[in-house]
Amino acid sequence: MQYTIGISDMRVSTQSDDILVTYSLGSCIGLAVYDPVVLVGGLIHCMLPLSKIDRKKADTNPCMFVDTGIPELLTEVYRLGAERKRLIAKVAGAASLLDAKGLFKIGERNYTVLRKILWKNNILIKSEDIGGTIARTMYLQMATGKTIVKSGGKESEL
Amino acid sequence: MSRRNEIIERIRSLQGLPASAVQILNMIQDPDIDIGELTKIIEFDPGLTANLLKLANSAYFGMPRKVNSVREAAIRLGTNRISQLVIASAIAPIASKAVKGYDLPAGDLWTHAVAVAIGTEKMGLALNLKLPDHAFTAGLLHDIGKIIMGTFIEVDASPIMQLAFNEGVSFDAAEREILGIDHAEVGSLLLAAWKLPTDITEIVRYHHIPDEAEHGSQVLEMVHLANNLCLLGGIGSGMDGLNYRPSRIIVEKYNLKPKITEPVVMQIVTGLEGFHSWFNQ
């Protein structure tokens, strides 16, 4: 079954016939995590870096922000039996506008916060497709953990 | 060879807005408008009535209880909102289709249009601006030219993509370079043919290059900002992606900081949730 993860949303799965997909990652962060031993994984689409701009929103929808969403995703996959040391993390998104300065650098800020949180959780990024001015679609195949990024008609494996 | 003339010719051959929508939009300009008469004209068009009631009941407009009739909607929302909803209802069927040329699946251009309309209003509020009534509509219509460029004209996108993504040329500039016209100008010409006021057509035309507009306005600036924020948020970005250049002049003019714009991005997403039941039909 294919599940679409919207902006500021996430999904975890233990079903090997599931495909998780999130469309149109602009400056947002798409993070796929997968444990190849227990075949547990998840995909999240976070929009903004820090939840401090609206704590209330972060309570009702932690996935909107990188700093609250990522821990939420990790907690969920651990709950389903995934283990940190086996977890494979792949990242897509964090694009920007042309000559983006200051406030338009949401993508860069999203990525910085992501790195920090993964580092704190002792998780390394296995591979990534980030930056540039393109919008991306990201797929996680639960059977194998294969992660595909599509953009502008091109497709590549992360 | 530029395809400018051929494209402009194509705009003329397109159908206009439904007659009832045009009639209503003209009526609403009148300060002594008769709500009873307005209601009658809207109700004469069942598609328009159904769409208008769905929109009026969306969470964005914050109705405390369900609105069941056009009359009730007109009284409760006021004629400005009604005029926005009439345009939105008239545009939705066209704008909801897939736009192949920009690689936008069905619904995405419409979602983007509504997101920028909401973003324009929210950006204005965040900066304490008193935006004129046409702000929402200008935001809603800014990308209407993409429908023509991406649906009715079979444009070979590869030279545009090549120029845009390999040479750091903004996507609209690449369109101008390759085709002799960009989607923003096409949109403004279409709306002019539909007899929409120049306040709106000017904004549509310059939404990517606001600094070049002869008659700049706050609405133009807010549409520009809202559009860029929506592209960043990935709301309805197609093969053109984020390959646009934001105006530094506007950012400096309003001393914009992430703490002002990021809550607006959030409000756009929240505002869209209120529209969702409507998109998915």
CATH of the domain at A100: 3.30.1330.200
What's the distance, CA B149 to chain centroid? 15
Asked whether the beta carbons of B262 and A48 are under 8 A apart, the reply is yes
Residues of B in contact with A53 (CB under 8 A): 259, 262-263, 266
What is the structure's pLDDT at B95? 87
Percent of chain B with pLDDT over 90: 46
Closest in B232, B246, B258 to A26, CB measured: B232
B245 touches A: beta carbon within 8 Å: yes
Instruction: Count structural domains, chain A.
Output: 1
A157 assigned to some structural domain: no
pLDDT reading at B130 higher than 50: yes
Cα dist. B220→B53, B121, B132, B238, B244 in Å?
A: 29, 12, 11, 22, 16
ipTM score of the complex? 0.93
Mean pLDDT of all residues in chain B?
87
Please report the residues numbered 66 through 105 in chain B whose beta carbons come closer than 8 angstroms to any beta carbon of chain A.
Answer: 103
Q: Are the C-beta atoms of B102 and B238 separated by less than 8 Å?
A: yes
A7 neighbourhood in chain B, CB within 8 Å? 233-235, 269
Q: Distance (Å) from the C-alpha of residue B218 to the closest C-alpha of chain A? A: 19
pLDDT more than 70, % of chain B: 96
**Residues 107-136, chain A, touching B (beta carbon < 8 A):** 107, 109, 132-135
Residue A158 lies in a domain: no
In A, which residues are within 8 Å of B257 by CB distance? 102-103
- Concatenated DSSP letters of B200-230: HHHHHHTSS-GGG-SS--HHHHHHHHHHHHH
Q: CB contact, 8 Å: A51 with chain B?
A: no
| A149 contacts in chain B (CB < 8 Å) | none
pLDDT tens digits, one per residue of A14-73: 999 999 999 989 999 999 999 999 999 999 999 999 999 999 999 999 999 999 999 999
DSSP-derived 3-state class of residue A22: strand
Inter-chain CB proximity B263 and A54 less than 8 Å: yes
Say if A13 falls within a structural domain.
Answer: yes
Q: Flag if B245 and A48 touch (Cβ within 8 Å).
A: no
pLDDT at A81: 97
Residue-wise pLDDT for A70-127, tens only, equals 999 999 999 999 999 999 999 999 999 998 777 788 999 999 999 999 999 999 999 9
- Which residue range is the domain that position A118 belongs to? 2-152
The tokens for B130 are 């008193």
Contact assignment for A134 to B236 by CB distance below 8 Å: no
Residue of A nearest to B230 (CA): A26
Q: Mark yes or no for CB contact A28/B234 under 8 Å.
A: yes
Q: How far apart are CA B75 and CA B88, in angstroms?
A: 18
Domain range for B230 is 4-279
* CA atoms of B185 and B145, how far apart (whole Å): 7
| 3-state SS assignment for residue B266 | helix
Q: Are B62 and B55 in contact (CB under 8 A)?
A: no
Mutate to test the interface with A, among B158, B161, B262 (most CBs of A within 10 A): B262
State how far residue B233 is from chain A, nearest Cα, in angstroms: 6
CATH number at residue B131: 1.10.3210.10
Number of domains into which chain B is organized: 1
The Cα B177–Cα B163 span in angstroms is 9
Checking if the pLDDT of B276 tops 70, the result is: no
Across the interface, which of B108, B232, B259 has its CB nearest the CB of A104?
B232
